[in-house]
Structure 1
Amino acid sequence: MTGVLTDFHFIRAVWLLLLIPIAALWWLMRPKPKPRAQEMSGIAPHLAAALELGADNARRLYPIDVAMIAAILVTLAAAGPTWSRAPNPLVADTAPLVIALKVTDSMEEPDLAPSRLDRAKFKVTDLINARVGARTALIAYAGTPHRVAPLTEDANILRPLLEGLTPAVMPKQGDAAANALTLAETILNDSETPGAVLFVLDDLDPSQLSDFETATVPVFFLTMLPNGQSITQLDGLKGTTVVPFSSDDRDINRLQRHIQSAYTAALDDDDRLDWQDKGWLLAWPAAFLSLLWFRRGWVIRSLLLTFCIWSPSGPAYADGWRDWFLTPDQQGQIAMNQKRYAEATELFQDPYQEGYARLKAGQYPEAAAIFAELDTPEAAFSEGMARIRNREYRPAIASFEVALERRPDWPEAQHNLEVSKAILDYVETTREQSDTGEEAGIGADDTVFDNDAGRGEQTTIQAPKDGSQAMSADQWISTIDTDMQDFLRNRFLLENQEQKQ
């Protein structure tokens, strides 16, 4: 509450000057109480006193009072009261999160059946599913930390990698939680949106605590211990939030609230973001007060006549009343705010807004086609977002490059370009390591099949460019004949050797 009061201000404070003429008009138009001498002129004083019975019940509220209060509320709304920042919809809807999962022998304990590690994987999966549309990265750590997956909105990339994490794939046993925190901070520093770190663990080496006390990002802990047991080392750790494991969704819901609160607080300190206009909240009490005008004797006939003249002729329909007051784009924005994205796509007339609504509704090919017709850097950026979510990584790279051509030194576009290239490189590298394409050197756009006429001879053809779609994450993961644990073990060993060198 203190933070809200500290950040409260008006975006368009000049509108507050209208309060002066409103107050003057109120004072001039409000009926003034008449002196008793004028009211009872020509009547004897003792009779006047008798006639004043019930004078205390005189009207206290006049129509002008209601009108001026409504005018004050509308003026305050026009001034734009605010106390929080508006997130950038092109970067992220919610806070990016780095999940650091402890993968050690102690996490194999069966006191949380089937094991602490398995239950931790279930919780991480639930959290990823609850954060639809938000970017999540995954780190595994034991004696050394390793980045399993970069920040991504695609849960299909995270799930198979998460399943392959066991203590056997870790190159070194131990508890390097502090190093995992450093790696997580590095990942978040590359993001333009403030984020947080979640540690999923069953214990913490006391020697690692000092680094958490000086963490530069919000840190949360999900303790994987049965019966509400706590980790004593975390009890006195300041600036962090500890959430104990629960058999239901209470721990996930609590983490979601804390992560979003930290995200909102971080946005308030980001001067690059606009303040969120909260003036619409005052429109409701102003509309309620306007209903009092329909009391008997309060209706302004001229206003009703004006409304009847202004309203369109022809039959009236209950479902078309919004068209009297709101433009199609305004109705579409309301639908977007209420997360009715499919409905918003039918309401927007502005092509960019329609494309963004289709992007949020999951209609990625349609959204990309709309953005491709526009020549703004924002349109190219959004086209790249639609392409990458549709797993069209090469077109996504081209779109982000166009966005950078139209607006050089755009950090968000540069970041997404690097992420797209990293994903494409990861996909191609994985395919090359599989039995399907390892020897043939097949690229991401090639197809291999057995030729029956050639008695099993391998034949390579170029995939058609028109109408072709990239292979989904589940499809290319399923093409890997080697076990995921072997893949992670070899990758972590290589990273560990590079760090030593």
Structure 2
Amino acid sequence: MNGLDALHFIRPLWLYLLPLALLLPWWWQRSRRPAGDWARVCDPHLLRWLSVEQGGGSHPARRAGPWLAGLALLTALVALAGPSWQKLPDASWSARDARVIALDLSRSMLAEDLRPNRLTRARFRLADLLESTEEGQVGLVSYAGDAYVVSPLTNDMNTIANLLPALQPDIVPVAGSRADRALALAAALLERSGFNRGEILLVTDSADSRDAARARELRDAGIHTSVLAVGTPDGAPIPSGGGFVNDRAGNVVIARLDRSALRAVADAGGGRYTELGAAAVAETPWLEQEGSEFTRRDDALGERWKDAGPWLVLLLLPLALAAFRRGLFFVLPLLLLNGLALPRDAAAGWWEDLWQRKDQQAWRALAGEDAARAAALAEDPELAGEAWYRSGDYGNARQAWARSPSADAHYNRGNAMARLGEYEAALAAYDEALALQPDMPDALHNREVVERLRQEQERREQEQQQSDQGETGEGESSGEQQQGENSEPSEGQQGDEQQQDGQQDGEQQGEQQESAEQQEGDQQGEPQTDYAEAWSAEDAQAMEQWLRRIPDDPGGLLRRKFRNQHLQRGAPDDESETW
């Protein structure tokens, strides 16, 4: 296949404009006269003194100009059409590798022949495997006397890696080491995920004939079993509390690596056998390499071609330089960017209006803590009300929210009127909001707060009226007493001074009580408290300490999960060998 057969246009509709490349030179020559309008008013022998050429003597550069313009348009149209003769690599397929890890959580995995112990080294190795896995899906099963699913098949390796530190022998409710049950559960996990074949990696330190028989069954079903042996042939005792695990005869149990039994499982399952010993292991424990099976992705892009159009644009550079010499490309950027160089205030926001609506500009200004500008830009009444409210202009906020019939608008209007001290109107606004949305908790709460404020305001007004009436009566009686006691001026003066002192003390106590009540009312009655402003550093520190007290124990979650599954299965007993 030659190059012309492989030529492909990604956007072929642009080719319909190719006739314009021929019409442009014709229109150019037709619309432009060699001598301009001077040929109409001047004699032919005078045109040469005016630096204009006669009709038959055009300069070669001028004759080539229209055709160069047509060539530039032709090149631009072909570039826009997206010529291509090479396909991009097909990324429509993804690896369909299905793998399940079966991790032994029996007590023998706590043996310390590997430092710090076998289980910790196994978790480190599995974390490295998960980090190096780029495609496919991986699941995780843990087992001791019974098997449990830690994570179903997933392509999110970080999820499984985050669960590895929580895997300890004490989260499994049944003691023992039943790898055959783990293999069966892993196979069921593959089947439920829709995979006809896959691979299981058994991470353990011991096995028996039941495990080899189950691995052979799975091999016949298309599921291979590989083994990652953990430990050393010399072994080590199993820590238990302050001592070690003992058998029924009272002897200390030495957990040794059973190589022959584990090799038998790997051979029966058609997988690979590797060991995790004291030395570092670089080889992969999986039988098949990653990407051995593929499937078409749901988000496949289909056939894709490499666009060579941008390279054709380079051919326009010489023509652009020629046009620049004539001044076109020098003046055009100045004309286009003239408005951009001006201050935005002088442009009256026309640039923002090209890209954003007024309400979008208002939201942006509100997010930038410029509430006044947001209020001036907002066209939506609810947005304008919020902007006015944040700027502290509760009167305009009330008027803006009054133009909207929604429950939120009535609720916010009630808050604005409560700020203005119009408690009766605020209660009416809350009632309108609750009529539209009866289960609005904020409206219910703020209505109770404003109702208490209104009652407190009425009580103060009554006390103020009673105080004013009492002071007026005391003033009149004091005047009469002074007029009637002129015969005993010393006693009268002494009585007046005591009375005035008592009034002053009473007034001071009343003012202190009123001030305390006012402070208490302000603290209780302010609707919609700004918690961001009231939040102090001490509150943040107290909240952080409280959050730290919340238990973050993935192991506890897995323990309860395994316990529930254990009870659903009839609570099987521990194995005879609990390690």
TM-score tier by shorter-chain length is 0.3 to 0.5
TM-score where L is the length of structure 1: 0.39
TM-score where L is the length of structure 2: 0.34
| Higher CA-based Rg | 2
